[in-house]
Each structure stands twice: as structure tokens, then as C-alpha cells.
Amino acid sequence: MKPSLKRRLWHQITGMLVPVWLILGIVSVVLYRGSSFGPWLMVHLLLLGALSTAILVWSQHFADSLLKNTAPGGRSWLGVRLTVHTVGAAMVMIGITGAWWHVVLTGGILVGLNAIVHATILVRQLRGALPARFAPLVRYYIAAAGCLVVGVTLGIWMAHPGNSAAGDYYDRLYVAHIGLNLLGWVGLTVIGTVALLLPTVLRSRVLSTTRAAARPTLPTLLAGLVVLGAGAYADSRIITAAGVLIYLVGFARVLAELVGHVRRSPAVSYSGWSITAALAWFAVCALGFGAVVVTATSWADAAAGLKTLVPYFAVGFGGQIMIGALSFLIPVVLGGGPRASKATACELDRAGLFRASVVNGALVLTLLPVPHFVAAALWAVLLTTLAAFIVLMVRALRTNRKNRTPPGAGLPPLVRDVAETPAPQPAPRTSMLVAAAATLALTLAVGVALEPSNTSLASGPGASGHTTTVDVTMIDTRFSPDTIDVPVGDTLVITLTNADGMLHDLVFDNGVKSGSVKPRATTTVNVGMIDADRSGWCALGGHRLLGMLLTVNAIGADSTASADSNADSDASASGDIDPTAEPGSDFVARDARLAPAASATVHTSTMTVSNTETEVAPGITQTLWTYNKTAPGPTLRGTVGDVFEITFVNAGTIGHSLDFHAGSLAPDKPMQTIDPGEELTYRFTATRSGIWMYHCSTMPMSVHIANGMFGAVIIDPPGLTAVDSEYVLIQSEFYLGRQGEEGDAVKVQAQLPDLVTFNGYANQYVAAPLTATVGEKVRIWVLDAGPNVGSSFHVVGGQFDTVFSEGEYLLRDGGSTGTGGAQTLALAPAQGGFVELTLTEAGTYPFVSHVMSDAEKGARGLIVVTD
């Protein structure tokens, strides 16, 4: 295969990686537009995927050309590096979207190591090259790779499950991550490249030296990045802003020179317009970066402000600089003779002024306070226009193949010292500009027409056609602000950011729901037209009871208007309770028999939280939050001095935790709330005996316990005597929500249980009685898990000769007289103990909580005694 053919085939193959990443980015916008991680995924597909791939390919190409020294390993090793980066970047995105931190870690390591190898190869090339006037520009690529290594490391650390709840530490990481990746990895690469590339695109004479190649420029830029990172580390936003300012001083040196080229030789092609516009957006976004940080009142505010800038960094700067540069470079590297190169360039330049005008015009319009659907329409047109490059690139490759002439030897020069070819005749600019303006006007009209207030007949004459957009932050289990004033008839759109360390959502009384929003994520909620006051709340984990309420005041509404309340209108499952109903034929009662403590002194187990639809009474099902799919969770048993090591895994949908009363240790780490997909190890030593409760301690704790998150640990007191039969009963309450759904948090707060049960099912031991034999000693351990109702355990027809409560014998073998007895074991919530009795006659002995209304709600069972 001829060298030129190998080069052309190489660039065709590697060139397809960028369009693939771009296509995936467009698909992510369509599939995940309503999700909390959709914007994150789109930005990373563009920047970490497409743009970083282009940087790896073209920085190596430019280094080879500038230094006239081919990289070690040539294209083969570059192909390996591209493969490693692609796999690593894909793993990062898969890991983030699936909440698999170890996948993120592996992918991030691959991306970081690949950047180190890339920088190392460039350093070797630079040291082995002969002196060249533009050789210092390669140092920009080396420095940029170093920034990527640090930036990716910060990104990995941000993704670690333990950092989402670490206060402003996460936000400081985010600010440094954005700065090092956008201003460092992308920014330094672009500055080092456009110093020569833009004059070449504009057909302007390149000076013998450039300010980018001048000695002070790169150190100034790097100093700014170092100060930026140091400010985030030192918890000083002023220092971080100073770092951005220093960076801007270095960039201004290069930008001033580039502006001179544009003034002397204005752009006449898509690549020139796109690159010039991209540099303008870069300057605006870098200034915005500094302004956001210096004016923010907290790191959380700074991070939230930067999130609004990132799309403009990614699309206005990153997308345009990449597509503009490729539109110029692809014809150059494909070659094929003057005819083929010109035809290829013409394909990539199709409707160039129109495309550049639509993209940048749409970006400017999205900065204005336009309605939600108008902004969505503008972004759709903008991204579609950028994506046209993919189609044009395919057409360009075909055109080049058809028009090729036998290639000459050697690589084409990167830089033209003088204009070697006449500029092509410009397309009719007026018609292009008119078409772009018409496209934008049509987009605005479509967006306005799509606004709910304009499309819904129900909105009536009160619809104003205006959209009120409000930023709401969820932090410290509160909405901030928690009251919004909206003119009646306006459409309300809320930009909802979760700045808390746990999952939240937002539900309105008109049925609008945000869906779950992960920590540090942002989503958009279109509440619809406001014709009356509205109420909103967080529906996850009882957060509503903790005060997560949002009020929308309809300013100017009729005082008689009332909001819908269909979100809470469905009937509770309590209406389906039938005290006389029996379980179905497939019912299996929870085994109440208690096995002896194991001889091992270290007990290891895994407790996994999951949402489990469970029958809690005949015909009544609820979605419980369970440990190992049962409520109560598994019962653990040991003796004083034993060690328990529990691996706690959250496979649920909201944050949960674990609190073992059987251990005595600081709660800060082992009892912390962990988010879905996270796990921790809880290790404690049992130093005192009794039956101890464990439960979820995530607030509101009452709701988590009432929805099934509790269980028992039994630590045998020294000298515990053997008995013939031993059982464990855990009393708890259910506050029923709708059939098949979670419990009613409002009922929990009001302490109005619908069911009171032993071992999680009403009257289950009536249907499947416990058993004993006449004359044998029976021990029954009892724990009251609550969360609200006490217990007075009683066996009808029986008398207790031994009562052990909260670590002490109240009565043992009849007491001091030998004839003493007890009729109940009284327990408050979270208390426990055991009773022992001997049943001397065959028969059926009911056991109940002697709080009789609770017994009638399900806290009863039977012991069948046989001869």
C-alpha cells in the first residue's frame, strides 16, 4: 500500500471516531433530555468523547509537522492510544449513568494514563527535534495533557459515593475540575493550535514568531491554572478568580494577535467563521467563569453558576472549534491533488455562513429570558445545524475519492507563509444571512406555539403567553426559595438543582413530577400554566414531613380558584382491610423459631436494602424498604464479646442507613446515609446482652422504620439456660398508603397505625400458630420496633415465671419466693426482652399485645400446645 494511501485510510478511519461520538451525543439529548444526568452525558460525549479524540489525533499530527520528527511507534501506537482513550471515556460515562464508581475509576485511570503517555511521547519528540521556530507550540499540548490528568483525577474523586454529601468540598472539586479540563486540556490545546491554524485558514501571513510561541505566554496561562486550582484547594474563591484573571491575561496576548489577522483578512469560509466565533465564545465563557466565582456567595453558588456556562463552553467553544478546524484540515490531509482538495473543501463549506449564523444566533438567543419551549427549540435547531457536519463529512469523503489524482510525496505543509491559492468566490452572503434569520425567526415562532399556555384550550383566556423561569435549589431537606410568586396565566418552569447529599424529587398537586434528582444534578420541571395557587413537596422518604414544601402563589388569581389535588386523591389500602380475612393458600408465615447462637465469635453478613412489594395482611400489599427483602430484617444472634461485621448495600431508590443498638460506637461513619448503589462496612463488638433493635436512621426516621426498615440482634446474657422451644416476635406498625405503594408518611406523623403486627404480617400466627408440647419450657423474645406504639405482651392462659427486660431479669424462676409470676412484658418502642413459661395443658393459647385496640389491628397470634 502506498504511503499516501495509508495516510488517507488512516485519517478516514480515525476521523470516523469523532462523528460517532457526536451521534451518541445527539442520541443522548433525545433519550435523556428529561433525566438529571442527561446534560452531563451530552457534555461529556462532546468534550471527553469527540473533542478529546480530535485533540489526541490532531495534536500529534501538528507535533509531527512542526517538529519534523515522527512520534515513536507512528500511527500504530497512536491507534492504540485512541483505543485506550475511547474505552476509558466510554467506561466513565457508563459508570456515571449506572452509578458504578469502580467502572468510573477504571475508565478514568485509562484516560489519565493515556494522557500521560501522550505527553511523554510529545516530550521525546520535542527533545529529539532540530530547532524550529514554532516548536515551542508543542509545549502547549504537553501542558494540556498534564491538565487532563489532574482534571480526570478530580472527576474520579467527585464521582466517589462518599463525596456527594461532603458539603462544599464537592463544589470546590467541581470548580477545579471544570477549570483544568476546559481552560487547561481544551483551552491550552486550542491556543497553541489556532496561533498558526487561524492565519492559515484566513490566508493571512504568519509572522516569523507568534505571541503564543513567545516565552511568557504559556507560563502565564499555566500560572493562572495553578492559582485557580490552589484557590479551590485553599477554600478561597478570590484566589480562584485571580487564577482565571491571570489565565485571561495570557490568552489576551494571543487573542489580540488573532484579532489582527481577522481584521487584515476576514473569514470567507465556514472554518474561518466557526473558529473565529468559537474563540469569541471561549473569551466570553472564560470571563464568565471568573465573574461567577468572584460574585458567588458560596462554592455551591459558584458550581451552580458554572453549570449554566458549561453548555456554552461545550457547544459555542468546543463544538465550533472542533468542527471548524476539521472542515479545514480534512481536505488538507486527504490530499488527492488540487481538484480533489478543492471539491472536498467545497462539500465541507456548504451553506457555511448560514450554519455559522444559525448556531451563533441561536446561542445568543438562548442567553435571553425566552420561554422554556423557545429555548428548547433553539437548542434543537442549534444542535441539528452542528450535526450537519456529519453528513457533509461523509459527502466530502466520497467526493475526495471520486476526484483524486495520483498523490505527490510527503505531508502537505501545515502553515502557508503566503497565500498560495486565490480565495474561492464567496457564496451569496445576503441570501445566507436572510435564510439564517428566517430560520431563527421560525424557531422562535414554533417554540412560542409549543408553550403549554398557547396550546392548551384549558388555559382559556387567562393564559398570558409568558413563561416565568425560577431557579430552585434543594438543600438541607428544604427548597430554596420555598415560595414562588407567579403572575396568573404564566407558565412556570423550574430549574431544579439538588445541592443536598441525598436523592430528592419535586411533586406538585397538579400531578407534575420531576422524577428523582441525584445529588449535584439539575433538571427542568415544567409546572404548566398557573391559574391558582399550587403546592409542591418532595415525595421521597418522608422528606415532606421534614419540611420539604414548595408554595406557588398565583398573583392576580381569583380568590375562589382552587388547585387540583389529584396527587393525594386515591384511597389508602386501609379501606381494604378485612379483620376476618384469611391469607391465601400460598401464604407462608415468617418462621418465628430462633436458632441458638453460632459458636463463631465473628459474625459476617450482608444486608441489602431493596424496595420489595410485600403482603402485610390478607389482600393488602405495600412497597416496603427492606433489609434482605424481609420486614423485619434478618435476626442476628451472638454472645457478649462477639464481633459483627455487616456489609451494608443500598440497592434501593433513595438514601438509607443502618443503626445497630447492639454496638456502642460513634455514629458518624457507620450510621451515615448512603445513596443508591453505595455500600459501607459496619463493624461492632457486642459488649452487653439483650435483644437490640437495628433500624434505618435516615430522616424522617419514623417513616423509614414504619416502612419496614428494622430488625433484631439478640445477645445472650451469660448463663442463659437452655429451653425446649425458643421464638422471637418483633412488634411493629404499618401506616398504609395506596395498594402496592409506600406507606403514608402523614399517618406516621399523626401516629395513626392501620395495622399492628408481629413479624410483619397481621394475625399471621393465627393462620400459622406457634407450637409447643405440654410441660416444656418456652422462651419468647419480644422486641417492640415501633416506631410509635408500645407493647404489653401477654399470653392468654399462661403465666410467666421468668421475665428479662432491657438487660436485666425482672423475675427469674418465680423470684425470691419461688412462686412469683408475671402477666405481661411491658415495652416502649425500641425496648425488648424475653419471657419464659410452661404450659401445662393441651390447648390453644392466644398471645397478644394487651393494648387491645392494637391486638384488634393484627398484634395477636396463637400457640397450639399438644400432649
Query: What's the angle, vertex CA 242, arms to CA 237 and CA 246, rounded to 5?
Result: 150
* DSSP secondary structure letter of residue 68: T
d(C-alpha 257, C-alpha 114), whole Å: 33
- Write the CA distances from 28 to 21, 42, 44, 317, 838, integer angstroms: 10, 6, 11, 20, 68
Give yes or no for a contact between 248 and 256, defined as CB atoms under 8 angstroms apart: no
Q: Which one-letter amino acid corresponds to residue 391?
A: V
Sequence-distant (6+) residues with CB within 8 A of 367 are none
Sheet holding 808-811, edge to edge: 755-758, 725-734, 777-786, 832-838, 802-805, 808-811
d(C-alpha 761, C-alpha 630), whole Å: 11
* DSSP secondary structure letter of residue 598: P
704 is in an annotated binding site: yes
Rg (C-alpha) for the chain, rounded Å, is 35
Give yes or no for a contact between 663 and 644, defined as CB atoms under 8 angstroms apart: yes
504 is in an annotated binding site: no
Q: Which one-letter amino acid corresponds to residue 823?
A: Q
d(C-alpha 806, C-alpha 804), whole Å: 7
696 is in an annotated binding site: yes
d(C-alpha 250, C-alpha 738), whole Å: 63
Query: Shortest CA distance to 712 belongs to which of 762, 650, 760?
Result: 760
Cell 398573583 appears where?
555
Sequence-distant (6+) residues with CB within 8 A of 766 are 860, 861, 862
Beta bridge partners of 809: 804
Query: What's the angle, vertex CA 92, arms to CA 86 and CA 93, rounded to 5?
Result: 90
695 is in an annotated binding site: yes
656 is in an annotated binding site: yes
Q: At what angle do helices 74-98 and 3-15 cross, to 10 degrees?
A: 10
Cis amide bond preceding 667, omega within 30: no
Sequence-distant (6+) residues with CB within 8 A of 761 are 583, 589, 590, 615, 616, 617, 858
> What residue numbers does the annotated binding site cover?
656, 661, 695-696, 704, 709, 850
Binding-site residues for Cu cation:
656, 661, 695-696, 704, 709, 850
